[in-house]
Amino acid sequence: MGSGTATRTATGTVATVHAGGPGTVPGTHGRDVPVRWVWLAAWPVTAVFVLSNAATPLYVLWQREMGFSKGTLTVVFACYILGLLGSLLVSGVVSDRLGRKPVLLPALGLALVACLVFATAGGVAALVVARLCTGVAVGAVVSAGMAAVTDVAGPARRRLAALIASCAMVFGAGVRPLLAGVLSETLPGPTVTVFVVEAVLLATAVAVVVRMPVRRPVRNGVGGGTEVAEAGAGAEAGAGAEAGAGA
């Protein structure tokens, strides 16, 4: 029998309420999920980090087509930073209160919208909207996604979860310019092709989140998983600022 407290209901019956630990995830009944799910839970983080600066090698092409200045390009990058920071301020708290999936699924949907806007962009306004959507999506997935990895792993595997979540972020950040650069050099219509490929990656991330064995965290106080995301959030904000400064 697990530990718990006895409470008396309105009808006079006594019910035993089992107290979950700091990392208890309702629906998993305290059982460890397979390790593969810890890895899969990190995939949305990788997928959205690939999007975060996938457009960077393409701005030369857009600049040639649309004729905008370097100053305008800096504004486009700044919109990403604004969206990212604004999202980081609220996404962690919301995911701790409502759960990881209610934050991750809309964020990935917004990332797909950003892909569509990028692929069909005909002017600077579209690039601004796409970058803003990307920033919001990345901030939300960094906050909720990296915390979800910790929740899925459970208290006994927190170190593994932190390592996997960090690797997912670094891998996505490393792949994003390489993937966009290779596709832009080898395939026709790179301003469309890059985002078609990215949309496929994001769609697989949505499928992972839908099946992810994680529920709303039950904790005393602030959710414990979000601190794993803080380092990644700061790193991504700094990377975006550097990219904008170099534009």
pLDDT tens digits, the chain, 247 residues: what are they? Answer: 444 444 444 444 444 333 444 444 444 433 568 889 999 999 999 999 988 878 888 898 899 999 998 899 999 999 999 999 999 999 999 999 999 999 999 999 999 999 999 999 999 999 999 999 999 999 999 999 999 999 998 888 889 999 999 899 888 888 877 777 787 777 788 889 889 999 999 999 999 999 999 755 555 444 444 554 554 555 555 455 444 544 4
Per the domain annotation, does 183 fall within a domain? Answer: yes
Look at residue 17 and tell me if it is in a domain.
no
Q: Would you say residue 21 lies in a domain?
A: no
Find the CATH number of the domain harbouring 178: 1.20.1250.20
Alpha helices in the chain (DSSP H): 35-41, 43-52, 59-66, 70-98, 101-119, 124-153, 158-186, 190-211, 227-245
Does 11 reside within a domain? no
Domain range for 51 is 33-212+221-245
Residue 118 in any domain: the answer is yes
The tokens describing 168, both together, are 């997912």
Q: What pTM, to 2 d.p., does this model score?
A: 0.76
Question: How many other CB atoms are there within 10 angstroms of residue 18's CB atom?
Answer: 11
CA distance 237 to 63: 24
Count of domains for the chain: 1
